[in-house]
Amino acid sequence: MGDDPGRELAVPATAETSADPGLEDAAWLETGLSDSPSVAVALRDLKMMQARRAQARAEWLPDIMLEYSAVDMKDGTKTGMAMAKVSLPFVWFWKPLGENKSASGAVLASRAELDQARLEVRRLALIEIARLSLARKQGEIFRNEALPQADRALDLAVTGYQSGSTGPADALTAVRSWLSMNLEKTMLTAQVGRSAAILSRLRGK
């Protein structure tokens, strides 16, 4: 209030966050979840566990060897003989059985982690979509209604104080209200930026 009466009060302008309007569209939760970093990691782990299970199941099979031999007989004829050999190590059954059970359990655990990652991304995304939408709507209200009204009230208070028709308390109240409105608008702009950044990260963009 002790400043030069001719000096115009102002706060640094806050640039609007140019967030992608499509971030509020929840359709990607049905089609683009695999691009989310946490889901992509869980999906990669699941594929690795499935590959290990396939390898464990392949080792379940015994070693089979086929042999064929041709023999010339004394009378000039030829005869052949085929033979198959199956190799079963002593631990053939128990070792692959344990490895297969372990690999199958790892696949189930990885699939559960993948489902959990998808649910968590969906939950966080829905929260931020709601926050982003609300912050944008409130920002529009502040920009189109609240801030212009606060500007007019401040102008009237400053003019009245200069002319003596408005007391210091009323003028200070108008200044505080104007600052509060601009601070709230800045906070809404920051919320838009935070929600947009979180949604971009969840989408893997």
Write down the architecture of domain 21-203 according to CATH.
Up-down Bundle (1.20)
Whole-angstrom distance, CA of residue 199 vs CA of residue 13: 25
Mean pLDDT of 197-203: 89
Q: How far from each other are the two terminal CA atoms of the chain, in whole angstroms?
A: 48
Quick one: pLDDT at residue 134? Answer: 93
76: alpha, beta or left? (left if phi > 0; alpha if psi -120 to 50): left
Quick one: pLDDT at residue 14? Answer: 45
Whole-angstrom distance, CA of residue 33 vs CA of residue 115: 11
Whether the pLDDT of residue 179 is over 90: the answer is yes
Three-class DSSP category at 135: helix
Percent of the chain, pLDDT > 90? 33
Global pTM reads 0.63
Which DSSP string do the residues of 30-81 spell out, in sequence order?
HH-GGGSHHHHHHHHHHHHHHHHHHHHHHTTSPEEEEEEEEEE-TTS-EEEE
Domain boundaries, the chain: 21-203
Instruction: Give the confidence band of 36 by pLDDT, cuts at 50, 70, 90.
Output: confident
Instruction: Give the confidence band of 6 by pLDDT, cuts at 50, 70, 90.
Output: low
Whole-angstrom distance, CA of residue 205 vs CA of residue 201: 6
Q: Taking a C-beta distance cutoff of 8 angstroms, is the pair 199, 129 a contact? A: yes
Mean pLDDT of 89-97: 57
Q: Tell me the pLDDT tens digit for each residue of 107-152.
A: 899 999 999 999 999 999 999 999 999 999 999 999 999 999 999 9
Quick one: pLDDT at residue 140? Answer: 92
Whether the pLDDT of residue 12 is over 50: the answer is no
Whether the pLDDT of residue 16 is over 90: the answer is no
Q: Tell me the pLDDT tens digit for each residue of 48-80.
A: 888 888 877 766 555 566 666 666 666 667 666
Quick one: pLDDT at residue 1? Answer: 43
Mean pLDDT of 12-25: 57
Instruction: Give the confidence band of 17 by pLDDT, cuts at 50, 70, 90.
Output: very low
Mean pLDDT of 79-106: 66
Q: Taking a C-beta distance cutoff of 8 angstroms, is the pair 126, 179 a contact? A: no
